Amino acid sequence: FAWGGFEHTFAVKSSGSLWAWGSNSAFQLGDGTNTQRSTPVQLNSVSVISALCAGSNTTFKVRSDGSLWAWGNNSFSQLGDGTNISRSSPTRIGTSDNWTTVSTGSTHSLALRSDGTLWAWGLNAFGELGDGTTNNKTSPVQVGTDNKWIAVCAASRHSLGSIVTGK
């Protein structure tokens, strides 16, 4: 498997180890530094990762225990840790253990929980969080009350999602 961000890339070897390379100016590789890597550097095993998303200058992972982790640029609170402090290594987001997937755009992020609810945080200048406001959010907030979300995608200044209908 491989994931590409704006200027950084992640890949998994057949052994299950996670590797990263590329720009690291915003700590998006998560190796504890901001050193650019022109060759892959090993991060950890992916056996504990169930989802990964490499965005513009941020990266997220959902661990197999359902916890959400983020690192990289946090200028607009797009990491969701309640601050706007960039992180050079994975930082746990909240205490929930029921995250299933995550998507990050340039300045905002979206995630789904196992109960089918949609959560959003970060810059909201264009209403990209979908909560009916243009207020920024520093940590995940539930979007609406629907619990039938099955997919989300955070883009540059907008978001997309799918819900189950019928039945």
pLDDT greater than 60 at residue 167:
no
- Cα–Cα distance between 68 and 161 in angstroms, integer? 19
pLDDT for position 159: 81
| Mean pLDDT across 127-137 | 95
CB atoms within 10 A of CB 5: 21
* Averaged pLDDT score across all residues of the chain: 90
| Mean pLDDT across 95-118 | 95
Backbone angles phi, psi at 158, to 5 degrees: -155, 170
| pTM of the entire predicted model | 0.90
At 89, is the pLDDT very low, low, confident or very high (cuts 50, 70, 90)?
very high
User: DSSP 3-state assignment of 73?
Assistant: coil
List, for residues 20-76, the tens digit of each pLDDT value: 999 999 999 999 999 999 999 998 766 678 888 888 899 999 998 999 999 999 999
| Mean pLDDT across 109-115 | 96
User: DSSP 3-state assignment of 124?
Assistant: coil
| Mean pLDDT across 141-165 | 86
Token code pair at residue 155: 């883009």
Question: Nearest Cα to 79, choosing from 151, 118, 27?
Answer: 27
pLDDT for position 83: 97
User: Percent of the chain, pLDDT > 90?
Assistant: 68
CB 53 within 8 A of CB 104: yes
